[in-house]
Chains A and B, each alone.
Chain A
Amino acid sequence: MPVSTIDFPALAEHRPYLMKVARLQLRDEHLAEDCVSDVLTQAYEKRASFRGDSSLRTWLTTILKNRIVDLLRKQWREQPLEQPNDDGGDDPIDRLFDTSGHYAQMPSEVSDPAELCQQDGFLAAVQRCVDMLPKRVGQVFVLREVFGTDTKDICKDLSLTTSNVWVQLYRARMLLRTCLERGGFGHAQPR
């Protein structure tokens, strides 16, 4: 799209997409709305710097990501850190394994992950489960999986160590798979 045709309506067409992503990342409707409005305003002001070698959506996604990182930094500064589960016995993830480190329950088989993701019901379940993750774990996970941010950049953006990011992502994935197992991980649940 040539720069001259980037007017506000052209940008606003992407609002539903930006809102969807911002909601999943921020879990707060008002905050998400403010954030997306900021992004659209900023994009309009900076429209001359859009080079057109990426799609408009990709460009907007980058602006959204930067805005979200700012918001998360601020939130994380203001709120005390969630205490990691270092009391041993009470970690829901450790409880998935028996004392020898084997899965206590057999994880469900997924014969065709790509096909499974075409099912709207499965996608809705994933979304619900992401919303149920502990806040920071969810935020790191969405930054990684929806924005495709490198772990190195997440470390830089949020002042985390590499091992901390790995732990958060591991926790996110394990909690998500446990959450999805309640619905048989995509297999129709016998009623």
Chain B
Amino acid sequence: MRSLARHPMIRISCQQASRLLSQQQDEPLALVKRLRLRLHLMYCDACTNVSRQFVALRLALQRFRDRD
């Protein structure tokens, strides 16, 4: 699975993965994009961290709105 993830036909860069991570917060990704992103996250700690940072951002803005 990991070597498949790094296959040149499938592999995406962190820059591409980050764009998809952002897009994913706004609407469901098409299957192929979702798959490529998931495979990228299997081996990439940097983008895994960014993914959680994006989640934190979303939650932070919600909390900003909802707390008094």
Contacts and interface: CB of A to CB of B under 8 A. Distances in A.
A binds B: yes
Give the top 9 A-B pairs by smallest Cβ distance, nearest first: A101-B13, A113-B56, A145-B61, A170-B22, A107-B49, A103-B46, A110-B52, A101-B15, A117-B59
- Candidate in B50, B55, B56, B62 with the most chain A CB atoms within 10 angstroms: B56
Interface stretch (A2-10, A29-37, A38-46, A172-180): A172-180
B32 to A, nearest CB: 17
B27 A110 contact: no
Contact of B53 (A17, A108, A146): A108
Interface in A24-71: 24
B64 to A, nearest CB: 6
Interface residues of B, number: 31
Which label, helix, strand, loop or mixed, suits the secondary structure of the A interface? helix
B61 A146 contact: yes
Given A97-B15, A170-B23, A126 B46 contact: no
Interface in B17-65: 18-19, 22-23, 25-27, 45-47, 49-50, 52-65
A76 interface: no
Contacts of B23: 166, 170
B27 A151 contact: yes
Interface string A91-112: 0001001001111001111110
B56 A169 contact: no
Given A21-B65, A97-B13, A102-B13, A108 B49 contact: yes
Contact of A123 (B22, B58, B60, B68): B60
Contacts of B57: 126, 145, 173, 176-177
A188 interface: no
